[in-house]
Amino acid sequence: MIKVNSENVYLEALIAHRMPQGIGVVSLSQLALVFSQMAKELRGQEAPAQQQEAFQSAIADAAASARHLTTAERTAVQSTLFTAFDGLPRKHALMAVRADFLRQVRFPSAYAA
């Protein structure tokens, strides 16, 4: 089993897409591109399914606990994330969300640096 550094995959995608990790607003379409790149990178590096699920959970948990996001925004971010990983379309409103949650993502130590 290959262990991929989740933090590196995450940070490299954020940097490549010039995503704010603090005060700033991002569209769901921007997040979809970034999350898709993360999913492709994990698969390309042959990360095990369990690690890919933990990766998604870390991002979903950060969005779920983000105090500055409304319930609708949390749901939209999570739907965008899950669609990027599994390809199943999910309906949600088109919107922009505050990007603060991106710096709150914490990966399980087994998959971190």
pLDDT at 103: 92
Express each pLDDT in 55-107 by its tens digit.
Answer: 999 999 999 999 999 999 999 999 999 999 999 888 877 889 999 999 999 99
pTM of the model: 0.91
pLDDT of 112 reads 63
Residue ranges per domain, the chain?
48-113
Alpha-carbon distance values, 7 to 35, 39, 96, 103 (Å): 13, 13, 24, 11
Q: Which two tokens stand for residue 59?
A: 């991002």
Task: State the pLDDT at residue 22.
Answer: 74
Mean pLDDT taken over the chain: 91
**26: β partners:** 97
